[in-house]
């Protein structure tokens, strides 16, 4: 096993611009990266099937999946990090959204049904895309697993899905995906989600609306969102931070909270179809 000082030594190497380091696509900062982008993508691909099963499987409607993918594609097109992003609607009625390493992004039916417009959907997909773009899930795995174990797991990713090794990879990655992001990661993903939504042509106030919807649900049904808040901590301060980004940045001055969503009708049709599909 690598010594405990090894990550610190690697970080020092980053400062010197040596191997094992890369620029963060979102922040531009140099940081420790233990696995390649190809390995990251393989990790997510290995974990996705079991992850989908755990949350009720895919919603069995091509039209609904296309809707989610269409909104996601608009967000992916403006991401700071080109990746094979894939957006999937899961049947679980528990509100949640997740991002696996490499760009596999999931949103549950329960969360979509809690929303009232498409800009809120764009905001949450932008938030999860931000986690991937900023490598939050990979950095979390590095922190939780350590250098040697992560490198070992990554080296086994992308093998035949019938092997025990692939199953082990999937289990580890799925477990990591359900671990709590740091407060700083959540704030950054909110900021990036706001930016990506705006770049994609959506009113970025959808992020504040979404966070308020979640806070309201938490107050009404505390246990229902417990799972989501384990991975995505929510507080009034987080909502305030999102509002400050929107009111303090001239780039967002053309949008206001009361602007009508031009896609409201199509979103409501999709939402009603989802409700009927899952009856």
Whether the pTM exceeds 0.95: the reply is: no
* pLDDT for position 116: 93
pLDDT tens digit string along 180-189?
788 889 999 9
CB atoms within 10 A of CB 141: 26
Residue 73: its pLDDT value, please?
98
In whole angstroms, what is the distance from residue 80 CA to residue 133 CA?
6
Instruction: Identify the pLDDT of residue 43.
Output: 87
Q: Which residues contact 67 (CB under 8 A, 6 or more apart)?
A: 266, 270
Give, for all 279 residues of the chain, the pLDDT tens digit: 233 334 444 445 464 444 478 889 999 999 888 888 998 998 889 889 988 998 999 999 999 999 999 999 999 999 999 999 999 999 999 999 999 999 999 999 999 999 999 999 999 999 999 999 999 988 887 777 766 677 777 777 776 544 555 666 666 776 666 667 888 899 999 999 999 999 999 999 999 999 998 888 877 776 666 666 666 667 788 899 999 999 999 999 999 988 888 888 999 999 999 999 998
Q: Quote the CA–CA distance of 51 and 134 in Å, as a whole number.
A: 22
Rounded CA gap, 269 and 63, in Å? 11
- Residue 159: predicted pLDDT: 64
Task: Give the pLDDT confidence score for residue 208 in this predicted structure.
Answer: 96
Residue with tokens 């899905």: 161
Among left, alpha and beta (phi > 0; psi -120 to 50; other), residue 22 is beta
Per-residue burial over 242-272, b if 16 or more Cβ lie within 10 Å, else e, is: bbebbeeeeebeebeeeeebebeeebeebbe
Q: What per-residue confidence (pLDDT) applies to 218? A: 77
**Residues 147 and 6 sit within 8 Å (Cβ to Cβ):** yes
pLDDT at 17: 44
């Amino acid at each position: 096993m690598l010594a405990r000082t090894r990550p610190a030594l690697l970080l020092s190497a980053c400062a010197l611009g040596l191997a094992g380091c890369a620029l963060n696509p979102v922040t531009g900062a140099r940081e420790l990266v233990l696995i390649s982008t190809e390995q990251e993508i393989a990790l997510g691909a290995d974990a996705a099937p079991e992850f989908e099963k755990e949350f009720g499987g895919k919603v069995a409607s091509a039209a609904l999946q296309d809707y989610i993918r269409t909104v996601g594609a608009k967000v992916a097109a403006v991401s700071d990090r080109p990746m094979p992003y894939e957006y999937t609607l899961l049947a679980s009625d528990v509100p949640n959204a997740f991002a696996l390493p490499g760009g596999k992004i999931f949103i549950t039916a329960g969360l979509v049904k809690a929303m009232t417009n498409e800009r809120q959907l764009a905001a949450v997909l932008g938030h999860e895309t931000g986690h991937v773009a900023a490598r939050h899930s990979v950095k979390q795995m590095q922190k939780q697993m350590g250098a040697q174990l992560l490198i070992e797991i990554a080296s086994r990713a992308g093998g035949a899905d019938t092997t025990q090794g692939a199953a082990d990879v999937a289990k580890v990655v799925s477990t990591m995906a359900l671990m709590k992001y740091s407060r700083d990661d959540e704030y950054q993903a909110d900021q990036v989600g706001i930016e990506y939504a705006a770049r994609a042509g959506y009113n970025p106030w959808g992020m504040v609306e979404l966070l308020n919807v979640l806070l309201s649900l938490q107050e009404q049904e505390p246990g229902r969102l417990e799972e989501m808040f384990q991975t995505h901590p929510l507080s009034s301060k987080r909502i305030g931070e999102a509002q400050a980004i929107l009111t303090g940045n001239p780039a967002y001055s053309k949008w206001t909270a009361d602007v009508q969503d031009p896609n409201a009708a199509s979103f409501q049709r999709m939402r009603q179809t989802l409700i009927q599909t899952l009856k």
